[in-house]
Amino acid sequence: DTAALQLTLEAIVAKYTLDSAVSIQAVGEDIVTNVQADAEYIAASTTKAIVATYALSQVEKGDITLQSTISGTSLQTHITRMIVDSNNASWYALLEYFGYSNITAYANANGAPSFKAVPNTITPADMAKFIHNMHAGTLINKEHQTFLEGLMSTSYTGPIKLNDSFSSVIRKAGWLSDRAHLTGVVVSGDKAVSYAIYTQVGPNGGYTYANSSALINDVLTSVTAAL
């Protein structure tokens, strides 16, 4: 019931004193539920999922292997550190190696026309669409999708405290001092939805990670119930 989910998500966003946006997109179906999801946000580390997907697509093209060395470290290790530990050194190494403009163009052509690698901005709707396409298998093959989503399922969420029921949800977190975001996939049986939940300091200030965590958990609870 997408109408009911829309109302529920709007109520959640209104409940917290944050500048927030949510995009939920059903995989394999043309069903999208957005709340304020067309505004551009500084994406923090959520777009590391875009960089990882691009790198894996280049492996499939035969331009590089997972064992190839970049800045003294294998590509596979860079991807693992970047996703699981949210390691910035590996992120920057891959951005420099593959090229900011190439990664931007790839994302723009594959569901995220708003993405700019510099200054790392994207709309939540486009972030959810890119993740949707990755999970649907239109960007990378099943082996690489399973590899990437396996890393995301164990990834560090920093100041975002997920409820125990979401401890292994497919996710990539991003945070700065005034924001916390989460993007990924919720799977229930044979159904799946991609999501992007972006939160940042509101007009009245007083930002806390606890409020962001509460909003993110509320959204994931509602989406899981809807599935």
Query: How far from 48 is each of 33, 110, 191, CA to CA, in Å?
Result: 24, 15, 25
Determine the average pLDDT of the residues in 123-143.
97
Query: How far from 81 is each of 52, 86, 188, CA to CA, in Å?
Result: 11, 6, 27
pLDDT tens-digit series, residues 149-178:
999 999 999 999 999 999 999 999 999 999
Dihedral sign for Cα 96, 99, 101, 106, please. Answer: negative
Query: How far from 222 is each of 14, 76, 77, 171, 218, CA to CA, in Å?
Result: 15, 35, 35, 16, 6
pLDDT at 2 over 90: no
More confident residue, 206 or 67: 67
Helix axis angle, 75-84 relative to 142-153, nearest 10°? 40
pLDDT at 100 over 80: yes
Determine the average pLDDT of the residues in 115-137.
98
What's the pLDDT at 68?
Answer: 98
Helix axis angle, 75-84 relative to 88-98, nearest 10°? 130
- Tell me the residue length of the chain: 227
What pTM did the predictor assign? 0.97
Query: How far from 9 is each of 25, 26, 57, 203, 207, CA to CA, in Å?
Result: 13, 15, 34, 20, 20
What's the pLDDT at 79?
Answer: 98
Q: What is the mean pLDDT of the chain?
A: 96
pLDDT at 22 over 90: yes
pLDDT tens-digit series, residues 171-218:
999 999 999 999 999 999 889 999 999 999 999 888 999 999 999 999
Nearest to 172 by CA among 190, 158, 188: 158
In this structure, are strands 191-201 and 69-70 parallel, antiparallel, or unpaired?
unpaired
Determine the average pLDDT of the residues in 72-93.
98
Q: What is the H or E stretch that residue 133 is in?
A: helix 124-136
pLDDT category of residue 118 using cuts at 50, 70 and 90: very high
